[in-house]
Amino acid sequence: MNSPSTIDLARMSAMDLAHAARLLKGVRDATLSGQRPRVLPRPVIGDSWGRMILGGVDPDHDFRSRLLNEEELEQRRRASPLVDVLPVLRNALVSVADAAQHIMVVCDAEGRVLWREGSSAVLRKADSLGFELGADWGESVVGTNGIGTPLVVRRPVQVFSAEHFVQTHHPWTCTGAPVTDPRDGRLLGVVDVSGPLQTMHPATLALVDSVAKLAEARLRERHVSALERLRAVAAPVLARLDGRALAVDVHGWTAAVTGMPPADRLALPKSFGVGRTWLPSLGSCRVEPLPGGWLLRLEEPGDTPEPVAATRLVLDVSSPRRWTLAVLGGARDWTHELSPRHAELLYLLSAHRTGRTASDLADEMFGDPARTVTVRAELSRVRRYLGGLLAHRPYRFQEGVEVEVVLPECPVDLLPHSGAPTVREARSVAEP
């Protein structure tokens, strides 16, 4: 028997949209009733539906959390780095959205709607759905959608009609792409284009993704300018110092060094400030403030007692959005927030204490053992903040280091952004 096919929105013409909406409704209804549909939802949609079913989201009635009041909304707007690229988003999307009977929506990393612009008629329809300023459009609140789902999977997603988990959203189509901070990979929010289902066009996905990347490029330009300003301040300070020292910004990016080879970036712990500290990649150092960053003066061997070697690592992947690695048992406990890719790699390594080759990891991550270049490059970055705690040939945690992995209560929340075959298999334990 042939396996069910998967619906492909990219092949749907405008004449097919009504048929596609009916087909998707049948697929959704069959899934909710526990039957196997004739046509499968796209994997990103099917995975999201699974999370919604396990999370208890009501598929037949929308739920609206408390709106932010005006003061709360303004506070979030001012605090969001996206305010600096709002002109870029407006110039690229608002006129297009208005002409196509869409609206542009910008949300923060928690799914709160911070800005909306576009067609006045569509804005009124959005109001009727609770798609208002200050609304919480996270996936766990309103179900599968073009804001909450991209926040979870960390990639652009187009959600059409009955692909929305909640029935009241079926007349709607939305396309969102995440925007990340180029300095540290932190998720900043989502830019989204939404409108009535009849206005769906597959090219919207590429457009929104391109605009999100343009916004990230502008943020990167601002970061380079900030590093140049820090370098101008730090250079005369470093010139007067003996020994090894470097100036980094608050995200660990290097502006200037003296007495040592330069490095692009240092991984800084969550709690970092003035005084003596210990970093796995540098050892003991003294930290002093600089405008826009830190001065790190490395202590030479013999200046201070050598830190006790770490005896325990705690990899926390219990949250669907943020992951951390704690280094415990050294001179000072140290915690680092992980990027999505590093969280994947360390999770895979934690399951194989005897080690994995680059080919093994490439197969587990991509289903392709030949993709070793990416694996080696990423693990080289990991070793910058783990130092000698991570060995290679094969890649493994050093003997004598206890590794604890904190998993989510529900397996479906395990690294939901990950498409790695091994991770998907671990998540499938909880599939309805």
Instruction: Kindly state the average pLDDT of the residues 393-399.
Output: 88
pLDDT at 11: 63
| CB contact set of 143 (below 8 Å; sequence gap of 6+) | 48, 52, 57, 59, 62, 164, 165, 166, 169
pLDDT at 200: 80
pLDDT at 305: 40
Beta-carbon count within 10 A of 268 CB: 23
- DSSP assignment of 105-117: EEEETT-BEEEEE
Instruction: Kindly state the average pLDDT of the residues 208-218.
Output: 96
> Is residue 246 helix, strand or coil?
strand
Two structure tokens written together for 172: 């709607």
For residue 118, give the DSSP letter.
E
Q: Tens of pLDDT along 257-288?
A: 999 888 888 888 777 788 888 787 787 889 99
pLDDT at 419: 86
CA angle 341, 343, 349 (to 5 degrees): 105
Q: Tens of pLDDT along 231-249?
A: 999 999 999 998 899 999 9
pLDDT at 306: 44
pLDDT category, 304, cuts 50, 70, 90? very low
Domains of the chain listed by start with CATH number = 59-220 (3.30.450.40), 241-298 (no CATH), 312-430 (1.10.10)
Q: What does the alpha-carbon distance between residue 412 and residue 409 come to, in Å, rounded to a whole number?
A: 9
pLDDT at 331: 54
For 34-102, where are the E strands, in sequence order?
39-40
Asked whether the predicted pLDDT for residue 210 surpasses 90, the reply is yes
Q: What burial letters (b/e) apply to 232-252, b meaning 16+ CB within 10 Å?
A: ebbeeebeeeeebbbbbbebb
Q: What does the alpha-carbon distance between residue 43 and residue 145 come to, in Å, rounded to a whole number?
A: 14
Instruction: Kindly state the average pLDDT of the residues 339-365.
Output: 91
Q: How many CA atoms lie within 13 A of 422 on its CB side?
A: 18
Q: Tens of pLDDT along 82-122?
A: 999 999 999 988 887 767 788 999 999 999 999 999 888 89
Answer with the residue of higher pLDDT: 201 or 287. Answer: 287
Instruction: Kindly state the average pLDDT of the residues 397-422.
Output: 89
* C-alpha dihedral, 49 to 189 to 380 to 358, nearest 10°: 20
pLDDT category, 308, cuts 50, 70, 90? very low
pLDDT at 159: 95
pLDDT category, 73, cuts 50, 70, 90? very high
Inter-residue contact 106 to 191 (CB < 8 Å): yes
Asked whether the predicted pLDDT for residue 307 surpasses 50, the reply is no
- The residue to which tokens 């009849």 are assigned: 198
Answer with the residue of higher pLDDT: 202 or 223. Answer: 223
- The residue to which tokens 């945690």 are assigned: 397
Q: What does the alpha-carbon distance between residue 197 and residue 177 come to, in Å, rounded to a whole number?
A: 18
Two structure tokens written together for 79: 């605090």
- DSSP assignment of 331-398: SS-EEEEPPHHHHHHHHHHHT-TT-B-HHHHHHHHHS-TT-HHHHHHHHHHHHHHHGGGEETTTBEEP
Average pLDDT over the chain reads 87
Q: Tens of pLDDT along 132-187?
A: 999 999 999 999 999 999 999 999 999 999 999 999 999 999 999 999 999 888 99
Inter-residue contact 177 to 209 (CB < 8 Å): yes
